[in-house]
Amino acid sequence: MNQPPEGWYDDPQVPGQQRYWDGAAWTDQVQTKHLFDGVLWLPKVVRSKEQRLVITASELWWGDEYLRWDEVIAFTQLTQVMVGIPYIHELVLQCHDRNVPIGFMARVKRDPIGDRAYAVIIEMLHQTLGVRVLTGLMEMLANGEPIRLAGLLLSPEGFTREDKDDPMVPWTDYAGMKVDAGDSIYINLFRVKDGGKRKRAASVSTDMLRSWVVGPIVEEHARRYGAPVTPDATS
């Protein structure tokens, strides 16, 4: 059986770590896996035109700034688009005692390095902050508490938009959800209507963090309090 060549590989036992393979067996040499390590172009020149970003499964370094992912309690993001292509990414990662701004721009029209950096940051926020938010909301759901999320009001009795006086739509009438992602993220919840078709019952726009958790929270409500509905068509 052919063995892989000598080198660093993802540790088969420890996620986020690499272990050295000597060509025949694993050694005791380990290192933190870099999910991203690159130099990005700064949109506003302060001390230099570029800055290094390093991301691991547990930490982030942005120049002199350092944070652990478990410190992040919220974030904001803004992406400027030029001719349909992302041009500048600006994020602020909020920790308990400080904010860490991260901003970089494309060097060329389509910049794979910048795109990759942004994708890794968002994925790590998803895996850390997003999971923590979802866990807390699931605990509220398990206790039967009403949940206000992304402009929606969700409870055992049903769902509606939080800012309207519309009656709650019972979960037995729930007929699915659609998410449209563009410059903004739009979420539509549907209800079943006469003839087995479905009708839009609540529509909201939200940010990336909340959009991650709306789906699982809505579907868990429907599973607990509703009955499966298979609409014939969308109107």
What is the layout of strands, in order, in the sheet containing 185-192?
174-181, 185-192, 198-206
pLDDT band at 181 (very low <50, low <70, confident <90, very high): confident
Nearest alpha carbon to residue 187 among 225, 167, 226, 159: 159
pLDDT at 150: 92
**Tens-place pLDDT, residues 217-229:** 999 999 999 865 5
Burial class of residue 114 (count of CB atoms within 10 Å of its CB; 0-12, 13-18, 19+):
buried
Q: Does pLDDT of 213 surpass 60?
A: yes
Which residue has tokens 């009955």?
A: 227
Check if the beta carbon of residue 56 is closer than 8 Å to that of residue 35: yes
| pLDDT at residue 109 in the model | 74
DSSP assigned state of 45:
-
Mean pLDDT across 53-57:
93
Q: What is the mean pLDDT of residues 176-193?
A: 87
pLDDT given at position 188: 94
CATH class assigned to 36-125:
mainly beta
Q: What is the mean pLDDT of residues 150-173?
A: 93
Q: How is residue 161 written in tokens? A: 């938009």
Asked if 160 and 151 count as a contact pair (C-beta separation under 8 A), the reply is no
Token readout for 157 is 């009795």
Structure tokens at 182: 């563009």
Structure token digits, residue 126: 């998803």
Kindly state the tokens that stand for 177. 């959800």
**Domain 144-225 in the same topology as domain 36-125:** yes
- Give the residue with greater pLDDT, 17 vs 62: 62
pLDDT at 44: 73
- Mean per-residue pLDDT over the chain, rounded: 87
Look-up: residue for tokens 């992406």?
79
HEC secondary structure over 97-146: CCEEEEEEECCCCCCHHHHHHHHHHHHHHHHHHHHHHHHHHHHHHHCCCC
pTM strictly above 0.85: no
Q: What is the pLDDT of residues 2-17, one digit of tens each?
A: 788 888 777 777 766 7
Which of these CATH numbers, 1.10.15, 1.20.120, 2.30.29, 1.10.3470, describes 144-225?
Answer: 2.30.29
> Can you give the residue ranges of every domain in the chain?
36-125, 144-225
